[in-house]
Amino acid sequence: MQRSPLYTILFATAVCIVCAVVVSSSAVSLKERQDFNSALEKQRNVLIAAGLLGDKEKVSPEEIESRFASIRGVVIDLETGEEAADIDPLTFDQKKRATDPATSRVAPANAALVKRLPDYVLVYLVEGETGAIEMIILPIEGYGLWSTLYGFLALDADLETVRGITFYQHGETAGLGGEVDNPRWKAKWDGRKAFGEDGLPTIEVIKGPAGPPAEDPYRVDGLSGATLTARGVTNLVQFWLGENGFGPLLDKLGTREERRAA
């Protein structure tokens, strides 16, 4: 049976409208679950960086929440290192803050290609029973070869010994730059020193293998075939540990000499 062109157009329009309604309503109804899952994934990565969860360990969302209970999220003024007591860490969205001109500023030129700096950042503390800091987990981000890598770096109570690093989002090539996710490579960071004798961020990913942490404290094994991503990791770690990143916060928490003596 021959249909008129008008029938075909109306039919196609009706199909489009129905599909648009289905897609948009499922996007809206799944938004809450997506937000929950992305918050959970962040918590999982904070735990991995802190060494409180194995990289390949399969645990339930309840278990992640229960392990996360020993960690306190604290919102910090990036420029002063002061705690912002009036901002709720649970609803804090650092990525959004860093892109909104009202809550961010242009970053000074830097090798990590960080474009804007948020006014506030969310860091995580593992505290002992007396409230003393046992570990601090810092959000880090910066450009690799193809993409911005987002992750966490955990420092020990001395604020200089690395306890762990992890990336929860990036677009580097699987098997090359994507090896930043390899648990064996990430384990190479544990026990290395982030700052040199001059107090400046010194830790770097080199080309080729590094020695053990006790003999070669400032260098981490390279990623073979992925020197550009590895250089990006060096740049972003050094940027966030520096004066435009968490320098003011780390200084506020005590000089490294004081914390070594503590």
**Chain positions contacting ligand FMN, by CB under 6 A:** 145-146, 172-173, 176-177, 224-229
In the complex with ligand FMN, the residue whose CB is nearer, 141 or 172, is 172
In the complex with ligand FMN, the residue whose CB is nearer, 101 or 208, is 208
Give the span between the Cα atoms of 116 and 104, in whole angstroms.
6
Name the residue whose CB lies closest to ligand FMN. 177
In the complex with ligand FMN, the residue whose CB is nearer, 154 or 226, is 226
What's 116's DSSP letter?
E
In the complex, least distance from residue 221 CB atom to ligand FMN, rounded to whole angstroms: 12
Do the beta carbons of residue 140 and residue 237 sit within 8 Å?
A: yes
In the complex with ligand FMN, the residue whose CB is nearer, 119 or 181, is 181
In the complex with ligand FMN, the residue whose CB is nearer, 169 or 173, is 173
In the complex, least distance from residue 227 CB atom to ligand FMN, rounded to whole angstroms: 3
Residue 165 β-bridge partners? 153
Residue among 124, 146, 143 nearest 135 (CA)? 124
Q: What six digits make up the tokens of 183?
A: 């648990």
Give the pairing of strands 219-220 and 204-205: parallel
In the complex, least distance from residue 148 CB atom to ligand FMN, rounded to whole angstroms: 13
In the complex, least distance from residue 224 CB atom to ligand FMN, rounded to whole angstroms: 5
Residue among 123, 131, 126, 152 nearest 71 (CA)? 126
In the complex, least distance from residue 122 CB atom to ligand FMN, rounded to whole angstroms: 28
Give the pairing of strands 120-127 and 219-220: unpaired
